[in-house]
Amino acid sequence: MSVEDLFAEVAAAHPRCVWLDGGGARKWSGARSLVGWLEDDDVSLTYSAARREVLRHSGGRSEVVGDDIWEVLEREVGPGEQWFGYLGYACRTDLPATPSEDVPDAIWLRPSHLTVIDHEPDGHFVDLTGVSVPAQSRDTRSTGYPTSPAYRAAFDQVQEALHAGDTYEANLTYRTAVEAPADPVETYLRLRSINPAPYAGFLQHDVEDHRAWLLSSSPERYALIDEDRTIETRPIKGTTPRGATAQEDAANAELLRTDPKLRSENLMITDLLRNDLAMACEPGTVEVPALMQVESYPSVHQLVSTVRGHLRDEISTVEALRRLFPAGSMTGAPKLRTMEVIERAERELGGPRAAYAGAFGWISGDGPADLGVVIRTLTTHDTTTWQIGTGGGITVRSDVDEEAAEAGWKAERLRQALGR
């Protein structure tokens, strides 16, 4: 049985399940799929930042077990246990972020059944390096992504803050609601086919009043924590579209590699991540083993850096993830002040970020963890109204029409998966 058929059966039979999908992985992220599902008396957690409630779901009952998702995860995730889920953008209540209006701000599952599938022996390992696809031009006149008045107003707010010195770079995003009654499993299978990614995956939490589906095709690592307590993050900042020909594709990649604006975006976020890791790591261990490398995906080239350090003895796995949260690539620099700027600027851009810009993956009880950033991701609470988040980094040298077009074509594969 294929992994696709296995998961279709699991999702049909079990309201709470997860697939961390290694079929489109890179060598740096491994090539294994993890498929897990819960029985009725297994435990899942949901978090509402608006109500400051963490609920524990088991045996058909739901009870409040805390008001902080990080504290509850510290308590609930036992040694040797492996939990799967996501943390939405508003999960740190000490930072400015509007709570979700539809899907829970966080969901975590403890499956009693877990199947591991190795993709490489079957020849399913996907390496897209050097593969070109139909072009998506940065020219808004030919992309069909005109700049909306709301986006232009938000962009102007960010530019004012940049020129005032309140921020050096801000990640301006927006959400689009797509009305498309669609089966989540079928939609995800289309998405993984047209946009394979290292942090691909599917989460289903079909529990009354706490429903959510998350369909991820993210290329970005939020955090990997190894057995030896090394923590690594791989921020993405800087994006160009793929080209229609090999020559055009190579030119777009070279632009990404050499353009001062794109390189400055990545450098500022890399420096922010060095600071974030320094708050959790032993002095002198934070390093940047890879700076501004080009990685190629089906629709885009991305500029990626790697930041790594060794956690201090007193820093737990959950605490390390909390200190890093949310990903600096999704906020800007400096983090707190920039989050205040984008919180105001994004108010008219499609609602709260919700799961978008958060983290999705697995954690273990004060042990290893591996999570991606929630980008290139579809979410829904009813399988009819789907949310797409998209955006990009803004600096003083940014052009509003170029940035609007970039945000548009970043979301194109998600629309295609919904048949739009």
pLDDT of residue 125: 36
Query: Which are the contacts of 258, defined by CB distance < 8 A and separation ≥ 6?
Result: none
Percentage with pLDDT > 70 across the chain: 94
Q: Which fold has domain 3-417?
A: Anthranilate synthase (3.60.120)
pLDDT at 264 over 60: yes
pLDDT of residue 144: 57
pLDDT at 255 over 90: yes
SS percent in the chain: helix, strand, coil, step 5:
30, 35, 40
- Identify whether 27 is a catalytic site residue: no
pLDDT of residue 44: 98
Binned at pLDDT 50, 70 and 90, residue 3 comes out as confident
Q: Choosing from 76, 220, 403, 406, which is the catalytic residue?
A: 220
110 and 44 Cβ atoms separated by less than 8 Å: yes
Q: Of 163 and 133, which is predicted with more confidence?
A: 163
pTM for the full predicted model: 0.92
pLDDT of residue 294: 95
pLDDT at 254 over 80: yes
Mean pLDDT, to the nearest integer, of 115-125?
65
pLDDT at 132 over 50: no
- Report the DSSP beta bridge partners of residue 293: 304
- Report the DSSP beta bridge partners of residue 363: 83, 369
The 10s digit of each residue's pLDDT in 35-91 is 999 999 999 999 999 999 999 999 999 999 999 999 999 999 998 899 999 999 999
Q: Choosing from 169, 237, 265, 335, which is the catalytic residue?
A: 237
Reading the block at residue 8, the tokens are: 């279709």
The 10s digit of each residue's pLDDT in 170-189 is 999 999 999 999 999 999 99
pLDDT at 143 over 70: no
pLDDT of residue 138: 40
pLDDT at 381 over 70: yes
pLDDT of residue 131: 37
Number of CB atoms found within 10 A of residue 41's CB: 10
Mean pLDDT, to the nearest integer, of 142-155?
82
| β-strands 32-37, 113-118 pairing | antiparallel
Q: What is the DSSP letter of 157?
A: H
d(CA 315, CA 225): 12
d(CA 302, CA 238): 6
pLDDT at 127 over 60: no
In sequence order, which ranges of 314-396 are alpha helices (DSSP H)? 317-324, 335-345
- Identify whether 340 is a catalytic site residue: no
pLDDT of residue 233: 97
Binned at pLDDT 50, 70 and 90, residue 137 comes out as very low
pLDDT of residue 135: 40
Number of CB atoms found within 10 A of residue 93's CB: 15
Binned at pLDDT 50, 70 and 90, residue 141 comes out as very low
Burial class (CB in 10 A: 0-12, 13-18, 19+), 248: middle
- Domain limits of the chain? 3-417
3-state secondary structure 5-63: HHHHHHHHHCCEEEEEECCCCCCCCCCEEEEEECCCCCCEEEEECCCCEEEEEECCEEE
pLDDT of residue 299: 83
Work out the mean pLDDT of the chain and round it to a whole number: 91
Burial class (CB in 10 A: 0-12, 13-18, 19+), 346: buried
b (16+ CB within 10 A) / e for 107-120: bbbbbeeeeebebe
pLDDT at 369 over 90: yes
